[in-house]
Chain A
Amino acid sequence: MNIPTSLLYTKEHEWIKLVGNQGMIGITDYAQAALGDVTFVELPKVGDELRQFETFATIESVKAVSDVYAPMSGKVVKVNERLETNPELINQSPYEEGWLAVIEIADESEKDNLMTAEEYRKYLEEEA
């Protein structure tokens, strides 16, 4: 299971990559494997205000519909439009090309509610 050390993680299997006052969001390798082939992604709009741990996107696989939760609060500044026609990027490259959105971080202290890679790995082991 690929869990990059440079990211922070949620219990719902989302990741966030913090760069300056922005954060890039996606779902983890574990999440994409559990979902199976992703066939459709409903993304937020640029300008939408996300709130930590609230739903902001929907991912559909052949078998299921899953909500995606925001790792941190903030305004959406960019969404990954390639996912509209190539949702399989989430399976192929969950941490790179399969990113979902970039937000402007509203409250940096919220990152204390997230897990480090090490903590997320342990969390997955406990879940299993």
Chain B
Amino acid sequence: MELKATPLFERHKALKAKLAPFAGWLMPIQYTSILEEHHWTRTHCSLFDTCHMGEILIYGRPEESGLDRLVSMNLKQMPVGKCSYGFMLNEDGGIMDDLIVYKLAEDKWMLVVNAGPLAKDEAHLKTHIKTKVENISDTTAKLDLQGPLSREILKQWVGEEIGRLKYYHFAFFSLLGEEVLISRTGYTGELGFEFYIKAEKAKALWDLFLSDGRVRPAGLGARDTLRLEMGYPLYGQDITEETTPLEAGLGRFVDFEKDFIGRKVLLRQREEGIKRKLVGFVTNSRRAPRHGYKIYVEGKEVGFVTSGTFSPSLSCGIGMGYVEIEYAKTDQALLIRQDRIEIEARIRKRPFYKGGSLQT
């Protein structure tokens, strides 16, 4: 399959980024070093190309469009200008995608979804939504600014009012002669913003941000280590159609008071109790657990690793995986194995990294 390139591809090549396929796209993995880009995000401000992600508009009020039945979050309580994180579920309660819903107006909503499942999501929405569904991914560019300095840096271009934008809220700001949707969201654990702009303006916005020396580009490599230090799940690895929000420990993003696809199975699962659970663990060395490694307790195989990495902030291995429910307890000792590799780890509470500027 031909890999897709974002509107910023030429910029990445000019910066000599290391490129690799991700979810059908040729994406920058790193520009200089994953560790450097990681630390820069934690201490300064990084710019990410996230144009590969999908944006889908749903017209009409949720009760007439049917959107309410297709996503797990409570849409009724949402004011215009608010974002909400949740899931699209299949009939079995399995996670089709994790997504953020933006309420643009009472009768206009935007779903921001992952690149991998985009086509599947769009088809699912078009099957069930009774009003207009518009996939605007190809004409919409998305850039993320993440880091403790991001707000201060942004003020020079959009003004002081960016300071009033609260966590998980969005507004339109004038930037490069356009009305740009800016939300205070991200996936790094740092104070940060996501920008939605016409694809043809992507390069100009990228250049504008990098004109401030405190902003440096960061690739998907750092994005992965940053989100893992926060214990955020990655779709396709930690959460899939074979796992439910309850198993993933993400039940708080499901509104059981309303009707939605997958509810019946989740209610039963909640009643009967889950058999396995997604846990986070920290290793006792610099060695990283990796996707697919097996998890043992006292010689018995009890689960598998879904994500793992060396943690640049903690200088040890961290990861997540599913284990049988009786072992899903904080401080439980685990042995992680793959071929000759053996890593000792303990289940720990997430986030693993606690110094983030997210809510500042």
Contact = CB atoms under 8 A, between A and B. Distances in A.
Given A60-B310, A62-B35, A62-B310, A36 B288 contact: no
Contact of A40 (B29, B34, B285): B285
A65 B290 contact: yes
A37 interface: yes
B287 interface: yes
A37 B29 contact: no
Contacts of A60: 286-288, 310
B33 interface: yes
B18 interface: yes
A93 B248 CA distance: 42
- Most chain B CB within 10 A, of A36, A37, A58, is at A37
A118 B225 CA distance: 38
Contacts of B310: 39-40, 60, 62
B35 A63 contact: no
B60 to A, nearest CB: 44
Contacts, number: 39
Contacts of B285: 40
A37 B35 contact: yes
A60 B286 CA distance: 9
Given A60-B310, A62-B309, A36 B33 contact: yes
B30 interface: yes
A40 B18 contact: no
B221 to A, nearest CB: 6
The DSSP consensus for interface residues of chain B is mixed
B286 A87 contact: yes
Contacts of B30: 36
Contacts of B288: 39-40, 60, 62
Interface string A78-104: 000000000110010000000000000
- Most chain B CB within 10 A, of A42, A58, A63, is at A63
Contacts of B18: 36
A1 to B, nearest CB: 14
Nearest to B317: A40
Interface string A46-85: 0000000000001010110100000000000000000000
B313 to A, nearest CB: 13
A40 B287 contact: yes
Interface of A: 36-37, 39-40, 42, 58, 60, 62-63, 65, 87-88, 91
12 contacts: A36-B33, A36-B221, A37-B35, A39-B35, A40-B286, A40-B287, A62-B35, A62-B225, A62-B310, A63-B221, A88-B35, A91-B33
Closest 10 CB pairs of A and B: A39-B310, A40-B286, A62-B34, A37-B35, A40-B287, A37-B33, A37-B34, A39-B286, A62-B310, A36-B34
Given A36-B30, A37-B35, A39-B35, 8 more contacts: A37-B33, A42-B287, A60-B287, A60-B288, A62-B310, A63-B34, A65-B290, A65-B341
